[in-house]
Amino acid sequence: MGNFVVTFARGFGTGGKEIASRLAKDLGIHCYENRILTLASQMSGLDEVLFQEVNEKIRKNGGFAAFMRGLPRSRNYISRNEKFVSDDKLFEYQSRIIRNLAEQESCVIVGKCADYVLRDKQNVVSIYIEAPRAFCVERTMEHMGVTEEVANATIERADKFRADYYKYYTHGNYWTNPVNYDMTLNSEKIGIEDCVKVIEKHLMIKGFISTDRIKKAE
């Protein structure tokens, strides 16, 4: 079996990130989210020649996982050029990182329009996690320790940003459109753990994993 990638898009408070993390843990693979943005921020300050040099070093020294472990976790990276790099340029580098990951290892990627970036790849399964607003509000209140009003405002703001971001970088596609994904799951009705199991079953049907792989990871 070759490499495969599971991409996740999710509404705020749906538990999508938790589902992605649990899936990665079950399968013994990496789950990437903000570290991709950190690496893209770093690389966006490099010219093309230096980018290729860095990329080659990454390939020779244990791949992206090993390289990312040495990166700072802060998103506030100042490029060596001391010039602001546009979001478009940052997205370009981010997309290149995602494509390289898909070629080099099996992994889970959360957000970053990864489903769109990898839309032409045959080894990708794209997932969208949704849930009713009341469920998302309750989870947000519990996990962030905020009031219902703050939770609602946070969800509204986060989901609007994600929708606008997706629409801009996918040239007009809608983030919540089920046609964009292989599978859309309601985390309230199915449950967090069962969402993981459903995705694992789909990966088995697609031939990306075997039952033994899940048992070994456990």
**Distance of alpha carbon 152 from alpha carbon 147, whole angstroms:** 9
| 25 and 85 belong to one structural domain | no
| 94 and 122 belong to one structural domain | no
**Distance of alpha carbon 157 from alpha carbon 215, whole angstroms:** 40
Q: What is the pLDDT of residues 169-191, one digit of tens each?
A: 999 999 999 999 999 999 999 99
pLDDT at 85: 39
| 78 and 160 belong to one structural domain | no
pLDDT mean across residues, the chain: 82
pLDDT at 84: 30
Q: Average of pLDDT values for 16-40?
A: 88
| 93 and 116 belong to one structural domain | no
**Distance of alpha carbon 56 from alpha carbon 59, whole angstroms:** 5
Hey, how many other C-beta atoms are within 10 angstroms of the C-beta on 204? Answer: 14
Question: Which of 105, 126, 142 is where one domain is finished?
Answer: 105
Q: Which two tokens stand for residue 163?
A: 């929708």
| 146 and 113 belong to one structural domain | yes
**Distance of alpha carbon 40 from alpha carbon 123, whole angstroms:** 23
pLDDT at 81: 37
Question: Which of 105, 134, 167 is where one domain is finished?
Answer: 105
Check residues 198 and 74 and name the one with the higher pLDDT: 198
| 52 and 78 belong to one structural domain | yes
Where does the pLDDT of residue 75 fall: very low under 50, low under 70, confident under 90, or very high at 90 and above? very low
Is 74:119 a contact under the CB 8 Å cutoff?
no
Query: Number of structural domains, the chain?
Result: 2
Q: Which two tokens stand for residue 58?
A: 């990454």
CATH number for the domain spanning 160: value is: 3.40.50.300
| 64 and 112 belong to one structural domain | no
| 23 and 83 belong to one structural domain | no
Question: What three-state secondary structure class fits 174?
Answer: coil
Q: Which domain holds residue 139?
A: 1-29+108-218
Give the range with max mean pLDDT: 39-48, 89-98, 160-169, 185-194: 185-194
pLDDT at 92: 84
**Distance of alpha carbon 57 from alpha carbon 166, whole angstroms:** 31
| 22 and 71 belong to one structural domain | no
**Distance of alpha carbon 100 from alpha carbon 43, whole angstroms:** 14
Angle ∠(84,98,157) on CA atoms, nearest 5: 60
Question: Which of 74, 89, 105 is where one domain is finished?
Answer: 105
| 56 and 24 belong to one structural domain | no
pLDDT at 90: 74
| 96 and 126 belong to one structural domain | no
pLDDT at 76: 42
pLDDT at 215: 53
- How far, in Å, are 89, 135, 150, 178 from residue 12 at the CA level? 26, 10, 13, 17
Q: Which two tokens stand for residue 167?
A: 């629409």
**Percentage of the chain exceeding pLDDT 90:** 60
The pTM score is 0.79
Give me the count of residues in the chain. Answer: 218
Q: What is the pLDDT of residues 79-112, one digit of tens each?
A: 333 333 356 777 888 898 899 889 989 999 999 9
Query: Residue 55 class from Cβ within 10 Å (0-12 exposed, 13-18 middle, 19+ buried)?
Result: middle
| 84 and 159 belong to one structural domain | no
Residue 151 has pLDDT above 90, yes or no: yes
